[in-house]
Homo-oligomer: A and B are copies of this chain.
């Protein structure tokens, strides 16, 4: 099993029994999502921005407008992190103390670099769009040069990472099981509702397979 190196950035300090350092567990969480929380330091302040991402092997891709001073500032930063989480349920215990949530989260640390080559940029934008909705890119009007020029693309190399997962029932104190308190799990999930066609031609078209597939897999 391939594992990420443990250092002071990714070592899980609390609930270490829920920590996972193997690359497979981390990538499973990254594959199940397309929005991550990118953390960076701006003038001494920690700032967290939700961003869509793509991925390939140990690279994570983000993008934004070249007019985006935030992304420019992230690129000047040597140190960034990204956190991705699925909330899977509420854990309602018999005591307040043991209330919790079920979740899968991954935190990545590494460096960002700007991608300059147009072909490489285009491939990465395809990767980001298809990471959101599989097979979407090929149905689209192709990128043009002006759009490419206005798009900043950055590649994040994962230096180290950790995952944390809670996927179990209520864990109450032994003496609390006699209490007449309702305890249990409320499962939580993110779903897609039926796609809504835009005005014009899409209203007369069949919803394409890649969009219906997305809906079916997430409903």
Q: Which residues of A contact B (CB under 8 A)?
A: 8-9, 13-14, 35, 37, 39-50, 52, 64-65, 67-71, 77, 79-83, 85, 87, 90, 92-97, 99, 101, 103, 105, 107, 109, 125-126, 129, 132-133, 136-137, 139-141, 143, 147, 151, 169-170, 172, 176-202, 205-208, 211, 214-215, 218
| A83-B46 Cα distance, complex, nearest whole Å | 11
Interface core residue of A71, A93, A141, A211 (most chain B CB under 10 Å) = A141
| A174-B65 Cα distance, complex, nearest whole Å | 20
Distance in angstroms from A200 CB to nearest chain B CB is: 5
Residues of B within 8 A of A200 (CB): 177
Task: Knowing A47-B39, A48-B107, say if A185 contacts B196 (CB, 8 Å).
Answer: yes
Are B188 and A192 in contact (CB-based, < 8 A)?
yes
Task: Knowing A52-B101, A190-B190, say if A143 contacts B208 (CB, 8 Å).
Answer: no
Are B95 and A143 in contact (CB-based, < 8 A)?
yes
| A35-B48 Cα distance, complex, nearest whole Å | 14
Task: Knowing A90-B133, A191-B189, say if A97 contacts B151 (CB, 8 Å).
Answer: yes
Are A107 and B193 in contact (CB-based, < 8 A)?
no
Are A205 and B180 in contact (CB-based, < 8 A)?
yes
| A193-B219 Cα distance, complex, nearest whole Å | 12
Are A96 and B184 in contact (CB-based, < 8 A)?
no
| A37-B68 Cα distance, complex, nearest whole Å | 22
Interface core residue of A47, A81, A180, A194 (most chain B CB under 10 Å) = A47
Are A46 and B81 in contact (CB-based, < 8 A)?
yes
Are B47 and A92 in contact (CB-based, < 8 A)?
no
Beyond A35-B85, A187-B196, list 16 extra A-B contacts (CB 8 Å).
A9-B42, A44-B79, A46-B48, A46-B79, A46-B81, A48-B83, A48-B107, A95-B140, A95-B141, A99-B136, A141-B181, A169-B198, A169-B199, A182-B202, A182-B205, A184-B195
